[in-house]
Structure 1
Amino acid sequence: MQIGIFSIGDRTPDAVTGRVPGATERLEQMVDLAVTTERLGLDVFAVGEHHNPPFVSSSQSALLAFIAAQTRRLLLSTATTLITTNDPVKIAEDFAVLQHLSKGRTDIMLGRGNTGPVYPWFGRDVRDALPLSTENYALLRRLWTEENIDWTGEYRSSLTSFTSVPRPLNGTPPFVWHGSVRTPEVAEQAAYYGDGYFSNHIFAPPAHTQRMVQLYRERFEHYGHGPAEHAIVGLGAQAFIRPRSQDARAEYGSYFAGTPRFGGLSIGEYSDRTPLAVGSPQEVIDKILAYRSYAGDIHRLLFTIDAFGTPADVAQEQLHILGTDIVPVLRREMTPAAPPALPLAHAERVAAQASN
């Protein structure tokens, strides 16, 4: 089971002081968080992609390459890369380069994003989001697995005898996750290709996540990739921990109240309706362990801890609590009963391909 952190790179005002970190400062905070993530023994650090204020995470491959140079073991991922507005050729090239520089510590999570205005900024129409996702990913797979491609589609210029360079490390592309909150077609696409499905359910009630994951599992088996229980599931998580639950709720309340994303609900109301976990270490552990009751085995669990105006020092404190008090228990209690249908680690996938 992979456990890690994902950061969306927002520059939200500190909920207490009102101070907004500068772009350089915020990027450095993300790098520092990644380095601490490795030092504490977690597995993954992932970054989002946004092209609008107040975010700084517009160039994932550059940021992850910088992190790769300062880490040795940490798996570097995205959460998510916009398969709709990015050119598949550029995705293929950027993440192959990152693969080589990180010595295989690279995978990618693809999604449509949650910001409608980004589409015209890159010459796309939001109404084409789903067919763009389908066509672009089909091309991306070919770019990583074939050379001298002849290709014609609806949404980009044709390719004639084209080879993406560099080729994937050891001839094995990065592992692909398809990330979504609400779109069944994304779960279907992940199942069709036998890729991983990541449900970022921090804004959705458990019943919704259960339906999405169940759909993916059923279709994964339908397409012949293995039993449903071996389907490759990841979940997003959001937690705030203090030794005393009262302190956690009081402190997180200031961050919670400062963002419109929670619909005007109180922390208690939102926690009751969604997987948000705020409280003592044991309360957070109990809330996370309950994910299995509606999602089954989980192969990747990513926490967001630095968003919505949480100060950098507080995010670092949260990461230390996670790494020390929470993650060891989750590893012990949530290790999947069934292995994933495909290896997630690059070296293991290279070996599996060689044996086939």
Structure 2
Amino acid sequence: MIKVSILVPEQSVMQAIADPQYCFSAANQFLQIAGQAPLFDVKLVGLNHETKLNEGRFSVFADRLINEEFDSDLVIIPALFGDMSTAIAANADFIPWILKQKEQGAEVASLCVGAFLLASTGLLDGKKCSTHWGFVNEFRRMFPFVEVQDGSIITEEHGIYSSGGANSYWNLLLHLVEKYTDRPTAILASKYFAIDIDRNNQSSFAIFQGQKEHKDVEIQKVQEYIEKNIENKLSVEELADLVALGRRSFERRFKAATNNSVLEYIQRVKIETAKRSFENSRKNINEVMMDVGYSDNKAFRTTFKKITGLTPLEYRNKYRKMA
């Protein structure tokens, strides 16, 4: 049996506790239907017997407490909710327990922003990690020694797993089902839960808001200039001159402040504007391309797909239809 321990943290998302329990329990049923023995022994593990979530509206009852003696093959850390620093502090007692389980051979997986609690253990230092696209900048600030992956849905390294945002964690759950059982069982689970089993990035869902939490006034000025001149072709030299900085100094400060090179930032702002246009207007692809300062159709398509994971046509058809 694969012993699966699903944590019940304070300030956690209830669905991110219930969904992995449901997923592995369903996998057991699929195995039994196929004439095989159930594989997953799923337990909820808490700091207390009862944990109240959603401002006390719901209670989750643990099967085991961390001060009891038992081992795990797989530890699932659900998504947290609210202020991440507060949530980590409220769940600090889980950290030595997670480290002990890993030392004893368990694999560890975080769902969505559960990556913040996982990173707090130090297990991710020097390693890659996925989390919700909307929390990437905060994650980088809190855990500078972790290589957070922009847009990635699943990251796996040395028995440590992490997933992208919100329902993207279902792709990691299916990945784990396939790892511990087989491809047919994972495909059956994907069909049962109506999840695209091979979706590998969350880029098409991301909203680029510009990294402006820094305090570099000159760089903020440049960021605002880029956003107001989206239809123009902007050069690094032009932007450096705007704030009276040498090119090398400007590029270094821009990267340090925004985690993007100047050209990457310009591309992301332009593509974000193009996305909004596809969602909210009836303009064709060439019109949108020209609006955001591109004259080369191939360059626009290549950059758009690199950032969103979809071609301009695919993105327009997907989100215009939804609208």
Relative to the length of structure 2, the TM-score reads 0.27
Q: Which has the higher contact order (CA 8 A, sep 6+)?
A: 1
Relative to the length of structure 1, the TM-score reads 0.25
